[in-house]
């Protein structure tokens, strides 16, 4: 089975969305061993020994991460279907580079498609998250 199906349908991680199921839209993006990956393209068996994280793992002790809070405050989503994928791509970027340039943000999100926001508010959300992380030491 595709990893996206196992995570969503079998294990109940409802943040893992599927739209295209062909690696184009990024809605199913999760992190595998820290890297942002499209879970519709991975077979579950291939990921058996991997460290996998989804949006459900972003919050700590019941509190949202600075990235999640920044997405809310910057209106970085409308319908929200694409949002988990964007969050996981952005989280992978910010773990590697806590002060990315706009070009680096755009590059890290190039595999994620949003039909609602026009992208600028998403980029603003990632910029704001970087600021919060840098200033807050998270
Ligand atoms: S559902 Fe995986 S990339 Fe679109
Ligand atoms: S917020 Fe609707 S698809 Fe991105």
How many domains does the structure of the chain reveal?
1
Note the pTM of the prediction, 2 decimals: 0.96
d(CA 85, CA 4): 12
Residues 6+ away with beta carbon under 8 Å from 63: none
The DSSP code sequence of 76-98 is --SS-SSHHHHHHHHHHHHHH-S
In this structure, which ligand is nearest to the CA of 118? 2
> 52 versus 48: which is more confidently predicted?
52
Q: Give the chain's length.
A: 138
User: What pLDDT was estimated at residue 100?
Assistant: 98
CA of 90 to the centre of ligand 2 (A): 15
Please write the tens of the pLDDT for every residue from 79-138.
999 999 999 999 999 999 999 999 999 999 999 999 998 899 999 999 999 999 999 855
CA of 86 to the centre of ligand 2 (A): 10
Q: Which domain holds residue 9?
A: 3-136
User: What pLDDT was estimated at residue 137?
Assistant: 57
Q: What is the mean pLDDT of residues 49-76?
A: 96
Please write the tens of the pLDDT for every residue from 25-47.
999 999 999 999 999 999 999 99
Start-to-end Cα distance in the chain: 36
d(CA 23, CA 56): 21
Ligand 1 shell residues, CB under 6 Å: 18-21, 23-28, 38, 40
User: What pLDDT was estimated at residue 138?
Assistant: 56
Q: What is the mean pLDDT of residues 42-59?
A: 96
Q: Tell me, rounded to whole angstroms, the distance of Cα 106 from its chain centroid.
A: 14
In this structure, which ligand is nearest to the CA of 39? 1
Q: Is the pLDDT of residue 70 over 80?
A: yes
Ligand 1 atom 3 nearest Cα: 23
User: What pLDDT was estimated at residue 136?
Assistant: 80
CATH number of 18's domain: 1.10.150.120
């Amino acid at each position: 089975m595709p990893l996206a199906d196992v995570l969503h349908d079998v294990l109940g991680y409802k943040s893992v969305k599927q739209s295209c199921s062909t690696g184009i839209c990024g809605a199913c993006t999760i992190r595998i061993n820290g890297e942002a990956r499209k879970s519709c393209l991975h077979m579950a068996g291939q990921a058996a020994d991997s460290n996998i994280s989804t949006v459900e793992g972003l919050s700590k002790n019941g509190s949202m991460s600075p990235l999640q809070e920044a997405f809310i405050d910057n209106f970085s989503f409308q319908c929200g279907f694409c949002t988990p994928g964007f969050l996981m791509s952005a989280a992978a970027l910010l773990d590697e580079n806590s002060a990315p340039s706009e070009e680096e943000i755009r590059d890290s999100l190039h595999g994620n498609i949003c039909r609602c926001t026009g992208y600028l508010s998403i980029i603003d959300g990632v910029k704001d998250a970087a600021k919060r992380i840098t200033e807050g030491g998270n």
